[in-house]
Amino acid sequence: MKTLSILKNRYFYSAIILIFTLLIIDDTTIFKLFKMKNELKSLKIENRKKIKEISLIKEKTKQLTTSKIALEKFAREHYLMKKKDEVIYVFEDL
């Protein structure tokens, strides 16, 4: 008896329609919210990695601008620069 009175109630049907709209039809559905939350987590992780990378680059830049020895080492390793009377041998890994 009680279940029949619930099924005849118009508020029950309006609540069902509202829940259906919130779960499936609307722009911000529950599924999209979970997807966006997961994407936000991954972006936060990526942001932390980029912040660490930026701090390492700043530290390296500071070393290169203050130390002549570090600058010379960097130029020799990355740009294969040499002094006038030097010979450089480059070995490539296969």
Residue 90 lies in a domain: no
Helices (H), 21-84: 30-66, 68-79
Domains in the chain: how many in total? 1
Confidence (pLDDT) at 26: 66
Q: pLDDT, tens digit, for every residue of 32-67? A: 888 999 999 999 999 999 999 999 999 999 988 998
**CA gap 64, 69 in Å, rounded:** 8
Provide the domain limits for residue 75. 2-79
Residue 24 lies in a domain: yes
Residue 32 lies in a domain: yes
Residue 13 lies in a domain: yes
Q: What angle do CA 83, 77, 94 make, to 5 degrees?
A: 120
Contact between 64 and 74 (Cβ < 8 Å): yes
Percentage of residues of the chain with pLDDT beyond 70: 94
Confidence (pLDDT) at 82: 81
Torsion angle in degrees (nearest 10) through CA of 40, 42, 48, 49: -150
